[in-house]
Amino acid sequence: MQTKLTAPAVLDREFLEMRAKVLQLAASFDRLDRAEGAVEGDSRLTQLAQAIQLLQSERPDKAEEVQMIFSRAFSPNWRDELGVDQHV
Amino acid sequence: MYYFDPHIHMVSRTTDDYETLAKMGCVGMSEPAFWAGFDRGSVESFRDYFRQLTDFEMKRAAQYGIQHYTWLCINAKEAENVELSREIIAMIPEFLDLPNVLGIGEIGLNKNTRNESVIFLEHMELAITHQQQILIHTPHLEDKYQGTRMILDMLCGDARLDRSRVLVDHVEEHTVRHVLDAGFWAGMTLYPVSKCTPARAADMIEMYGPDRLLVNSAGDWGPSKPTAVPDFVLEMRRRGHAESLIRKIVYENPLTFFRQSQNFQFTPPDVLAESPVEG
Ligand SMILES: [Zn+2]
């Protein structure tokens, strides 16, 4: 199924909202810079940087990929690692 | 437009909310058992909660013409207490034949721990031996992907399970495909802040189609919006989608899924209205 709206219609509808979200992010980074103390090396900053970089890509699944940046990995061997048998 | 909210926690809402939902077209709802905001101390506490879900809420909803259904379990957060969980699982069959009980739920994972997984499997066993449908909670934020994959692994590891009778809730962009590809139903939970928005839910419908997908409000005691399903309807309309498509997602899909429960005796309000009034 396709979106019913044309690309110009989507941009018309969402431009101000997207602009506002970028501004909010910019202001959050400024606020971090002005604040006392240091957060360098905090892994959450790395996740944010990766996510922002991904927004510039051409890929069609950016929302899914941003989700994965902020997700813990799944191990197919999780049962052995946790000691869980399938049968109760 | 009539709609059905498949996942809403009315015990934490006021009677005014029932009235508002009825005015917005809500004609039916299903309420899974969940965490009360604090850990309960005994099996009797859960017995009273199940009485509230199977009796009191059904009557409260009926005053506004809303048909109320429910699901029973001990939620993932309290499942960390294995001993209490087992007492509750042993008590649940007392309630399974009551007229508004659809199955076992919302079971799931919260922090993806060993105890949560063990109790998940024991709930699954209960559902399978009693031919019950299952409604599943998936974890939030950074735990969602890992927890959803663990849940799918446990579900797919049991060949006795009928996948078309299982609903996996709170799916987002990175989990919806896994759930649908494995043959389960998937629910998108619309939340004002931390979860999925009506726009992102509409995006997922556009990407994956309307089959086996539901939208719900969760409407719990946290910051949430019980009228989130009508918000989704409006978003779909603003995008130019057909009324028939919207109706399939918010009304026909829930009915198709819930009709697989032996206790689901839903009468559409348009049919109710046409039947003669006695006296
Ligand atoms: Zn819930």
Residue A88: pLDDT over 80: no
Q: Which site among A4, A71, A87 would you substitute to test the B interface, given the most B Cβ atoms closer than 10 Å to its Cβ? A: A71
B172 domain-assigned: yes
Count of structural domains, chain B: 1
Name residue, tokens 């909310």.
Answer: B17
Using a CB-CB cut-off of 8 Å, the residues of chain A touching B206 are: 1-3
Percent of chain B scored above 90 by pLDDT? 91
Domain ranges of chain A: 7-71
B88 domain-assigned: yes
CA diameter of chain A: 56
Q: Quick one: CA torsion of B13, B18, B21, B27, rounded to 10 degrees?
A: 120
B279 domain-assigned: no
Separation of CA B136 and ligand 1 centre (Å): 9
Using a CB-CB cut-off of 8 Å, the residues of chain A touching B174 are: 64, 67-68, 71
Q: Which domain holds residue B224?
A: 3-269
B127 domain-assigned: yes
pLDDT of residue B277: 60
Average pLDDT, chain B: 95
B278 domain-assigned: no
A47 closest CA partner among A28, A72, A75, A23? A72
Which residues on adjacent β-strands are paired with residue B187? B214
The domain that holds B119 is classified in CATH as 3.20.20.140
Kindly report the nearest CA distance between residue B264 and chain A, in angstroms: 29
**Structure tokens, B134:** 């299952």
Round to whole Å and give the CA distance between B20 and A62. 36
B277 domain-assigned: no
B274 domain-assigned: no
Which residues on adjacent β-strands are paired with residue B168? B136, B186
Task: Flag residues of chain B having pLDDT under 70.
Answer: 194, 275-279
Q: What is the pTM of this model?
A: 0.96
B194 domain-assigned: yes
Secondary structure class of B188 (helix, strand, coil): strand
pLDDT of residue B278: 55
B116 and chain A in contact, CB less than 8 A: no
Query: Each residue of A2-49: pLDDT tens digit?
Result: 788 999 999 999 999 999 999 999 999 999 999 999 999 999 999 999
pLDDT of residue B194: 67
Q: Quick one: CA torsion of B112, B220, B175, B5, rounded to 10 degrees?
A: 140
